[in-house]
Chain A
Amino acid sequence: MTTEDRSWRRDREGLGVWNGRGKTAFAGWGMSPIDRRWDGVSMDRTLGEYCKVAARAALEDAGLKPEDVDGLFMCPDNMAGANSGASASWGPSRPYFAPPYDSEDGLTIVTNKWLLANWPELNANKNVTYAPDAVPSIGEGLGFTAQAVVDGKCKVGLYIYTANNLDGRYRRGGTFAAPKAPGASQWNNPWGANVIDLQLNTTFALTQYCQRYGVDWDDLMFPIVMQEHMNGLMNDWGFYSTNGASHLNREDYVNSRPITSPAHIWDYDRPVNAVGAFIVTTAERAKDMKHKPVYILNHNQGSGGSARSSSITLDEYEAANAKVARMCYEGSGLQAKDIDIFNPYDGFSSFLPFSLEAFGWHGVGKGEARDFVNGDISIHGPHPYLSGGGNLGNGRTRTAMYIDSIEQLRGTAGERQVTVKAETAICAFAPALSAAYLVLGSDPH
Chain B
Amino acid sequence: MPYIVPVPDELSKPFWDAVQEKRLIVQHCVACNSLQYPPRPRCLDCNAEAMDWKDVSGKGHILTCGVLEDSHLPVRAADQPLNLAVVTLDDDPRINYYANLPGTPPFQVTVGAAVEVTFEECPDGSLIHDWRVI
B8 part of interface (Cβ distance < 8 Å): yes
**CB distance A310 to B97 under 8 Å?**
yes
Q: What residues of A have a CB within 8 angstroms of the CB of B95 in the complex?
A: 309
B76-93: which residues lie under 8 A (CB-CB) from chain A? 76, 79, 81-82, 84, 86
**CB distance B100 to A192 under 8 Å?**
yes
B72 to chain A, nearest CB (A): 5
Task: Output the nearest chain A residue to B26 by Cβ-Cβ distance.
Answer: A309
A429 to B75, CA, bound (A): 31
**CB distance B44 to A261 under 8 Å?**
no
Question: Which of A135-143, A182-190, A242-250, A287-295 lines the interface with chain B?
Answer: A182-190
Q: Which size bracket describes the interface of B in this complex?
A: 35 or more
A191 to B85, CA, bound (A): 9
Q: What residues of A have a CB within 8 angstroms of the CB of B94 in the complex?
A: 308-309
Task: Output the nearest chain B residue to A217 by Cβ-Cβ distance.
Answer: B66
**CB distance A189 to B73 under 8 Å?**
yes
B21 to chain A, nearest CB (A): 18
Q: A191-B100, A204-B66, A310-B98 are in contact. Are A176 and B7 (CB under 8 A)?
A: no
Q: What residues of B have a CB within 8 angstroms of the CB of A177 in the complex?
A: 73-75
Contact of B72 among A196, A257, A258 (CB under 8 A): A196
A118 part of interface (Cβ distance < 8 Å): no
Q: What residues of A have a CB within 8 angstroms of the CB of B12 in the complex?
A: 186
Q: What residues of A have a CB within 8 angstroms of the CB of B114 in the complex?
A: none
**CB distance A183 to B9 under 8 Å?**
yes
**CB distance B73 to A207 under 8 Å?**
no
Per-position binary interface string of chain B over residues 29-61, scored 1 when its CB falls under 8 Å from any chain A CB and 0 otherwise? 000000011100000100000000000000000
Contact of B68 among A172, A182, A192 (CB under 8 A): A192
Per-position binary interface string of chain A over residues 159-186, scored 1 when its CB falls under 8 Å from any chain B CB and 0 otherwise? 0000000000001100011111111001
**CB distance A178 to B68 under 8 Å?**
no
Task: Output the nearest chain B residue to A169 by Cβ-Cβ distance.
Answer: B72
Q: Which size bracket describes the interface of A in this complex?
A: 35 or more
A263 part of interface (Cβ distance < 8 Å): yes
A211 part of interface (Cβ distance < 8 Å): yes
**CB distance A192 to B74 under 8 Å?**
no
Task: Output the nearest chain A residue to B16 by Cβ-Cβ distance.
Answer: A186
**CB distance A181 to B6 under 8 Å?**
yes
Per-position binary interface string of chain B over residues 117-134, scored 1 when its CB falls under 8 Å from any chain A CB and 0 otherwise? 000001100001010000
**CB distance B66 to A194 under 8 Å?**
no
Q: What residues of B have a CB within 8 angstroms of the CB of A309 in the complex?
A: 36-38, 94-97
Most buried by B among A203, A207, A260: A260
Contact of A310 among B4, B8, B44, B86 (CB under 8 A): B86
A262 part of interface (Cβ distance < 8 Å): yes
A206-223: which residues lie under 8 A (CB-CB) from chain B? 207-208, 211
Contact of B8 among A172, A186, A189, A263 (CB under 8 A): A186
Per-position binary interface string of chain A over residues 283-326, scored 1 when its CB falls under 8 Å from any chain B CB and 0 otherwise? 00000000000000000000000001111010000000000000
**CB distance A191 to B38 under 8 Å?**
no
**CB distance A179 to B44 under 8 Å?**
no
Q: What residues of A have a CB within 8 angstroms of the CB of B123 in the complex?
A: 179
A193 to chain B, nearest CB (A): 4
Task: Output the nearest chain A residue to B12 by Cβ-Cβ distance.
Answer: A186
Per-position binary interface string of chain B over residues 61-73, scored 1 when its CB falls under 8 Å from any chain A CB and 0 otherwise? 0011111111111
B113 part of interface (Cβ distance < 8 Å): no
A51 to B61, CA, bound (A): 51
Contact of A311 among B67, B73, B86, B100 (CB under 8 A): B86
Task: Output the nearest chain B residue to A176 by Cβ-Cβ distance.
Answer: B72
Most buried by B among A191, A207, A257, A263: A191
A116 part of interface (Cβ distance < 8 Å): no
Task: Output the nearest chain A residue to B37 by Cβ-Cβ distance.
Answer: A309
B5 part of interface (Cβ distance < 8 Å): yes
A194 to B69, CA, bound (A): 12
**CB distance B96 to A211 under 8 Å?**
no
**CB distance A190 to B3 under 8 Å?**
yes
A181 to B123, CA, bound (A): 13
**CB distance A197 to B72 under 8 Å?**
yes
**CB distance B74 to A172 under 8 Å?**
yes
Task: Output the nearest chain B residue to A189 by Cβ-Cβ distance.
Answer: B4
**CB distance A192 to B37 under 8 Å?**
no
A182 to B4, CA, bound (A): 10
Contact of A172 among B9, B44, B72 (CB under 8 A): B72
Task: Output the nearest chain B residue to A186 by Cβ-Cβ distance.
Answer: B6
Q: What residues of B have a CB within 8 angstroms of the CB of A183 in the complex?
A: 7, 9
Q: Pick 26 A–B contacts, CB within 8 A, sort by A.
A: A177-B73, A180-B4, A181-B6, A182-B9, A186-B12, A191-B100, A191-B130, A192-B84, A193-B84, A194-B71, A197-B70, A197-B73, A198-B66, A203-B66, A204-B66, A207-B66, A211-B64, A211-B111, A258-B69, A260-B67, A261-B69, A261-B81, A309-B94, A309-B96, A310-B97, A313-B96
4 additional A-B residue pairs with CB within 8 Å, beyond A179-B5, A186-B38: A204-B64, A258-B70, A260-B67, A313-B63
Task: Identify the 6 closest CB pairs spanning chains A and B, nearest first.
Answer: A192-B76, A186-B6, A182-B7, A191-B98, A258-B69, A261-B67
